[in-house]
Each structure stands twice: as C-alpha cells, then as structure tokens.
Amino acid sequence: MIKNYLTIVMIYFCSIAFVNAQVSGTVVDENSQPLPGVSIVVKGTSTGTTSDFDGKYSINANQGDVLVFSYVGYNSQELTVNGSVLDVSMQAGVALDEVVLIGNRAKPRTILDSPVPIDNIGINELTSGGQPTLEAMLTFKVPSFNAQPQAISDATAHYDPADLRGLGPSRTLVLVNGKRKNQSAQVYLNRTPGKGEVGIDLKSIPTAAVERVEILRDGASAQYGSDAIAGVINMVLKKDVDYSVFSTKAGITSEGDGFNFATDFNTGLTFGDGGYINLTLGYYNQEFTNRAGTPGIADLPSDARPNEIAWAQNNPDLGMKVGQPDLEKGDLFVNLSHPMGENAEFYSFHGYTLRTGRSFAYYRAPYWRRDVADADFITRSEDFQGYQPTFEARIKDHLNVGGIKFEVGDGWNFDTSLTYGSNSVSYTVNNSVNRNYLADHGTSPRTFKPGGYSLNNVIGNLDVSKVFSDMISGSFGLEYKKETFKAIEGDPLSYYGSGSDSFAGIKPAEAGEWDRNNFAAYAGLDFDITEDLLIGVAGRYEDFSDFGDNFSWKINGRYKLGEDGAIRASYSTGFRAPTLHQRHLTNSQYIIVAGSSEPLLQGTLANNNPAVQALGVPNLFAETSKNFSAGLTYKFDTNFSASLDFYQIKVDDRVLFSSQIGSDGDDTTTNQVEQILEDNNVVAVQFFINAGDTKTTGADFVLNYRNIEIGADSRLHTSLAANFNTTKIDAITTPDALAANGYNIFTREEKGLITNSRPKSKFILALDYEAEKFNIGLYNTLFGKVTITAPSGGTVNGVETANGVDQELSSKLATDLSFSYKFTDKLSLTAIVNNLFDVYPDVTKASTNTAQAGSRFVYSSEVQQLGQLGTNYSIGLNYRF
C-alpha cells in the first residue's frame, strides 16, 4: 500500500513539473546560422516568445503541446514538445504559409486560406534591391504599385505620388499596425500622375521600423472604409526583437550627382513584466540630380538682347535643374506593448518625421523677365542673366496610436484605440522676385514665405471579434473620425499683386480652417462551411457631416484544392470620400500654359466657391466603385507556388481636377466664365468636380520557386511577378453652363494622365543566390509602355482633336545587381548597382507639343516609367549586436 502511494505521489509531482516546464532551444536557418526574431507560440494559446540574436528561445509549455515556429520568408513549422530541449532548423519558404493580419479581423488566416490576394513582404526582401525610399522599394517589388520622383512640380516634388493598380494615390488605404494612416496635407496640383489627388506621405514611414508589408489587392471599403478601392497596404512595425541593428549606406549616380546617405538604428528593449519597446532612429540625405535639355540659343526670341545671347551661349541648359530635389529627413518611431493582467494588453506606437527639401522652378530666362532687368534691380539691365526660384518645403508628419486589447469571457476579443495623425507642409520661395511689388516700389524681397497647409485627424475605434465555432467567426466595430484641414496665410509680400514668382503666397481670402466628422459601423461574418469552402460577407455604413452617407458591402469566397491550392473570388462595392483639400482649396500658382513658352499665373477656386457653383458645379460627394476579382493560388511543393488573379474596378463620379478654363482670346465678347476669371484676376481657373466614370481591368501573376540547391551550402531563390492593367474613361459629365459656352472641362491631355501615365504592364524577375558567406541578387524590372498625350486642338464635328502627335514610349528594363558579404554573424557589407545598364525613358519628341518648355525637358514630366536617374551605385554596412 505504501509503495503504491509513493508511486502515485511521484507521478503527481512529476506531472506538476512537466506542466510548468521550461522548453528551450535554438532556431537556425538552412545554413545553420542563428535566426533571430522567430515567433514561437504554444498552439491554441496566447503564450509566445521570440528567438534572440543568437537564435535562442525559452518558453513555458507542457509535454505534448505543439509549438508553432514562424518567420516572414520561411516555412512555418509545428513541433510537439517531448522533453526540455527543442532545436529547430527552418527552411526559407513561400508566402502562402504565412499568417497575415490584413483582410480579416476575426480569425487569423494564411495567404493560402485567404479569399482575396495578399502579398506579405519581409523587410529583408523589401530592402534587398537597394532602393533609397519605401515607395521606391515597393515600386520595384510589387508589380501593381507605382511611384516615381517628380521633376519641377512645386510641392509635389517632395511627395512622389504613389498608386496601386493605376487608380491614383487617393484610392489606396494605408494602415500602420492595422490603424489608418493620415493623408498628406498637399494636393498634387501639377501635371503629374495623380494630378488633383491626395495620397499618403510614404516618406514618413522609415523602413528600419518596419517588420513586413502586407498588401491586400482587392476592394476593401466594406471592411476598412473610404479610400480602399484599389486595395490596402498595412505596415507592420517591428516588435520585441532581442538585438539591435545599426546600418549605414551611401550612393551616387554615374553622372556624379544625386549623392545620398542613409543611416538608421533599431533596437528592442524590455520593460516591466513582459513588456517591450522597439525604437527606431533614422536619417536620410540626398542631393539633387539634373537631366535638363540643352536648347541653348535655339530658344532665343527674335529680338534677343546681347546679354541674353551671351547667357544662352554660355548656358545651353538655360539654367534648368530637372531631376530629383535635395532632401534631408529625420525619423523617430516607437512601438511598445505591455500585458495588463492575464487577458489584456496595452499597446502604443508613435512616429515623428521631419524633412526639408529644395526643388527648382523653371529658370526665369532673362528674355522672360525683361521688366526685372529694366528695373536694374538684381544687376544692371545689360548684365542681367535671369534667376531661378527654388521651392523649399518643410514637412512634418506625426502618427500616435494608443489602445487596449482584451478578452472578455468565452472568446470575445475587444480592441479599443485612439489615433492622432498629422501632416503639415510650410513653404519658402528663394531667389525669386515679386514683379508687381518691384514695379510699384522699385525693389522686391528675394525670399518669401508663401504659407502652407496642414491636415490632422483624430480617430476612435472599437473592434470586436469572436470565433463562434469551427464554422462561424465574426467581427464588428464602430469608428468616429474628425478631420481638420488648414490653409495658412503667407507673408503679405508673397501675395502682393500676382505674388512671388514661381509660387504666389496664400492670400487671406484663401486661408482658413475647415473640419468634418464621420461615424462608421461595420460587421463581417465568415462561414467555413466545410474545411475547404469559405464564404465571407461584410458591410460598412459611414455618415459624413459634409456630404452625406454611404453603405458598402462585400461578398467573397474560397475553395481549397486539396491542401495546397485554392480558387477565390470576391465582389464588392466601395467608396472614396472627397478630401477636405479638394473641397476647400483655393490658390494661385505659376504653370506652363499651352501656347505660352513661359509660366503664367493660374488659379484654383474651391468647389464651394459661389463663382464655381454659379457654373453649375455641384458640391463634392463620394465616388463609388464596383470591384470584381477572381483567381487561384497553388503550392506545388514546399518551395514552389503560383497565383493568378483577375480584376475589374469601375469607379463612378470620380473626383477630377478640371482642365484650365481660360479666355477664348476674343476681346469683343465676355462670357460668364471669362467674367469669373476677370473677377479673380487669373488667366485660367481650375476646380474639383465629380465628373468621371472609369473602368480599370487587369491581372496579377506571381510565381515563386525557392531553395533550389546549388552545391552543398548554397541555394537559389527565384520569383516572377507581373501586372497588366488598362484604365478607360467611360464618361465625362460637363455642367450645362460650361458646355453651353463650349468649354471642355477635361481635355485629352488630362484624360491621358489617368489612362496613359502609368505603365500598362510591369514584370519583375528576381534571382537570389545564397551561400554561407555571401549573397548575390539580380533583379530585373520591365516597365511597360506609356503614352505622352498631345494637348487638345479643339472639337471638330463633335470629336476632340489633338494639337500634336501622341508618342508611345517603349518598354524599359531596369536591372539591379546586389552583392552582400558576411564578415561575421554580426557584420555584413552590401554593394548595389541600380539600373546597371543606365536605361532612360525615350526622349520626348517635339511633335507631341506638350509642355516641354522649349526643349528644356529631355524626358516627359507628365508620364512615368522608371524615372530619369540613370545608374546609381551604393555601398552599405549592417551591424547586429
């Protein structure tokens, strides 16, 4: 009896020991190198940890528990605990096995399980191509994403408009850790892709703070609200890494300009009982590039003066600087979390970015500014050489989020949060002149503060989710958002008369502050009807204080093809709320107007301006969309996968920035529109209007083949991705008053910015060779054709004609080559050549009759492929400790 009793006691105490046992081990990659940052979770619980710098981990687990090991870019593994030591070797794998946060709030799903196409790009993959900024990295990694630097486009030059699937910057929603990122304060007003739209300031998100980027390539307004017509990009920040990383990189173009330098530091700290802080500091600096044409004396007028002739002979580029602007940027990002008891977690993340930039306006040739010359102001008139204004911007961006996640009995999960986001831009115009002030007073300042803009929002969210059973999971929530847009008055001399040359200051009547609020409620249900068949539905209602309400809905489905494949489809409605900028912006700026060789002053009147409304332009309201997509994905084996998705997106009542509405040149008559121009002292006027219906069709293709063994200790990873898309304009609605006076509110060159300014196809072929000590990457990006659209030549027999000949620019291949070497497990060096073969766009032909300013531009400033930087060399060091 005593012996049996002692046996029972020993078994009992042994079982207690095993219940709270510490399981530890080391995680390594396929080359037996330590793999830090791997997530280790006890399956079915919230207990988890990550591997440290040496790949080591320790976790509380019971015998028989299953540990799930996952890391972006590697195949997940599930291993059963059988002892106190569990070492793991992870193989680089495809993205289909990776769990993603985006697209579903109720039940975590892998990319293979998702009913919509999702990309999951780890930071190492994102940075491997050596591009300097986040938007450039995405352009050369994601076929349907496009962004390029803009030359001579005022404040737009400091933002680089970016879009997904060719739908414009306004129709892609950007999240950070699942929370909405504020838009920028700047409207893109110049002739660039995305003209008239507002995007997200992607330069404000440092890559050193990002763990991975999730991209949902499907309409998602029913889940996330306004702007998600083309898709959603979610930046997932780094968390509780147990090591620090310091990196630095410098580069320069083959032309010897555009020197850039970047350095950043990321570290993880623990605090309290189970809390972490991840901190990122970053700095980036770039110098301008110049790819201006050299028209020289061919640009001179017939009555050229001796000093003007001498200047053109000595300066064949006519003083122009056409390229990327100077830029200096500093970043601070903090991501933190701490448990609150057993079933709750406090989280918070904060970002602050400050950057300054200097872009260059058109050089004011001496024969353009004879009034300044004759005033003997800058120099004696016989010595006058003109001047080049600089457009300088100071941009600040804040993102602050705080929230609590908690569980309330029976699997109900709550997430309540508060978000504050802000973006502001203030301008300085240097080396300029106020010509009206000079004429009236005999002198003028050379530096002006023309004002600026700011946008901020405050968002409160309550999200609730629950897995009701193996078959049904659901989520619902509430959101309240308040937005404020502010136009800040410039100094008086910047708007005196026609204002400072290059950019006229914001006048008192143009300044102001406007706000609005909106309330949203959403719900979604997923039905796992069988293990293979999933049906999901979602709906979202939003009510805006300035234009009304909207209801969007979505239905999607997925059917698994065994364990390795799936077919999927979705249909959704969506919407985009017009921004406060588009409704209230009023300003004046100098631009090139067709028929004029020099910049002229044009004005933008607010949508709710009485003069605009008198023309029959209605108050702005929401764009709506219908989005259909269908595709399949298949994992042929652990290392080989493919996906193909088709889509069609119709956007109705698209908000357009109208063409320049100006005088017909007949001094004997003055119609209603001309009277408005005269009253507002501008030669042309533009405004925002819901007037366009468009249809975008396309396809995305992705092929991944990893871990091709080449020798004993080396492997090759390959991927091929492609996007094909076409946008057509189905209709343009013109108000009666404008139509009656023969005005075309959206001319063919404006249509071309929507239909032809982005590549209609893009292919990306990536080859990565990994050995024990070094890696070699070869990345080829083929940008499809774009078309330079000639300006309108008027209407003949009801058909709009061209004043010039459209020019199709041929496809261009950019090749990037990278080499990295590991001196130790901690220190590595990377050398990269971007655009190895120095490829440029086709030279713009004069026959296009576009705004090339007398051949000052060699390459089009209105359509974009791979930019006009040429070859760029860079070298960098990375140290982990």
| Whether the predicted pLDDT of 196 surpasses 50 | yes
**When comparing pLDDT for 678 and 81, which is higher?**
81
Output the pLDDT for position 805: 93
**pTM > 0.85:** yes
Output the pLDDT for position 11: 41
Q: At 765, is the pLDDT very low, low, confident or very high (cuts 50, 70, 90)?
A: very high
Mean pLDDT of 65-78: 78
What pLDDT, in 10s, does the model give residues 96-113? 566 777 877 777 677 778
Output the pLDDT for position 156: 81
Q: Specify the range with the lowest mean pLDDT, choosing from 65-69, 476-480, 716-720.
A: 65-69
Q: At 46, is the pLDDT very low, low, confident or very high (cuts 50, 70, 90)?
A: low
| Whether the predicted pLDDT of 639 surpasses 90 | no
The dotted CATH code for 96-880 is 2.40.170.20
Mean pLDDT of 492-521: 93
Compute the chain's Rg from CA coordinates: 29
Output the pLDDT for position 762: 97
Output the pLDDT for position 244: 93
Output the pLDDT for position 530: 92
Output the pLDDT for position 739: 87
| Whether the predicted pLDDT of 827 surpasses 90 | yes
Output the pLDDT for position 101: 78
What pLDDT, in 10s, does the model give residues 645-664? 999 999 999 999 998 887 65
Output the pLDDT for position 190: 81
Mean pLDDT of 725-735: 95
Task: Please state, rounded to an integer, the average pLDDT across all residues of the chain.
Answer: 89
| Whether the predicted pLDDT of 19 surpasses 70 | no
Burial of residue 339 (CB within 10 Å: 0-12, 13-18, 19+) is middle
Mean pLDDT of 670-678: 74
| Whether the predicted pLDDT of 577 surpasses 50 | yes
Q: Specify the range with the lowest mean pLDDT, choosing from 37-51, 614-628, 713-727.
A: 37-51
| Whether the predicted pLDDT of 602 surpasses 80 | no
What pLDDT, in 10s, does the model give residues 535-556? 999 999 999 999 999 999 999 9
Output the pLDDT for position 666: 58
Q: Specify the range with the lowest mean pLDDT, choosing from 62-76, 172-186, 826-840.
A: 62-76
Output the pLDDT for position 584: 94
Q: At 591, is the pLDDT very low, low, confident or very high (cuts 50, 70, 90)?
A: low
Output the pLDDT for position 493: 96
- For the chain, give the percent of residues with pLDDT over 70: 93
Mean pLDDT of 195-201: 92
**When comparing pLDDT for 18 and 800, which is higher?**
800
The residue behind tokens 């060159």 is: 749
Beta bridge partners of 808: 787
Output the pLDDT for position 668: 57
Q: At 593, is the pLDDT very low, low, confident or very high (cuts 50, 70, 90)?
A: low
Q: Specify the range with the lowest mean pLDDT, choosing from 217-221, 339-343, 806-810.
A: 339-343
Output the pLDDT for position 17: 38
Residue ranges covered by each domain of the chain: 2-91, 96-880
Mean pLDDT of 427-450: 96
Q: Nearest-CA neighbor of 33 among 772, 711, 769, 819?
A: 772
Output the pLDDT for position 16: 37
Q: Report in angstroms the alpha-carbon separations of 690 from 311, 444, 624, 706, 879.
A: 47, 41, 11, 47, 52
Residue 68's contacts (CB-CB under 8 Å, 6 or more residues apart) are: 39, 40, 41, 42, 43, 76, 77, 78
**When comparing pLDDT for 839 and 70, which is higher?**
839
Output the pLDDT for position 664: 59
What pLDDT, in 10s, does the model give residues 305-331? 999 999 999 999 999 999 999 999 999
Output the pLDDT for position 590: 62
What pLDDT, in 10s, does the model give residues 250-267? 999 999 999 999 999 999
Mean pLDDT of 106-129: 84
435 within 8 A of 444, measured Cβ to Cβ: yes
| Whether the predicted pLDDT of 31 surpasses 70 | no
CATH 2.170.150.20, domain 2-91, yes or no: no
Q: Give the CA angle between residues 76, 82, 86 to the nearest 5°.
A: 50
The Cα 57–Cα 86 span in angstroms is: 10
Mean pLDDT of 375-392: 95
Q: Specify the range with the lowest mean pLDDT, choosing from 41-45, 88-92, 442-446, 515-519.
A: 41-45
Mean pLDDT of 656-684: 72
Burial of residue 21 (CB within 10 Å: 0-12, 13-18, 19+) is middle
Q: Which two tokens stand for residue 698?
A: 């396309």
Output the pLDDT for position 44: 65
170: three-class secondary structure by DSSP: helix
**When comparing pLDDT for 251 and 712, which is higher?**
251
Mean pLDDT of 528-533: 92
Q: List the strands of the sheet with 587-592, edge to edge.
A: 587-592, 599-604, 684-686, 661-662
- 441-466: b (≥16 Cβ within 10 Å) or e: eeebbebbbbbbbbbbbbbebebbbb
Output the pLDDT for position 633: 93
Output the pLDDT for position 679: 74
| Most confident option among 58-72, 125-139, 342-356 | 342-356
What pLDDT, in 10s, does the model give residues 804-814? 999 999 999 99
Q: Specify the range with the lowest mean pLDDT, choosing from 124-138, 223-237, 590-604, 770-784.
A: 590-604
Output the pLDDT for position 2: 45
- For the chain, give the percent of residues with pLDDT over 90: 65
DSSP state of 431: S
| Whether the predicted pLDDT of 237 surpasses 60 | yes
Q: Nearest-CA neighbor of 197 among 628, 608, 809, 692?
A: 692
Mean pLDDT of 373-402: 95
695: three-class secondary structure by DSSP: strand
Mean pLDDT of 783-804: 87
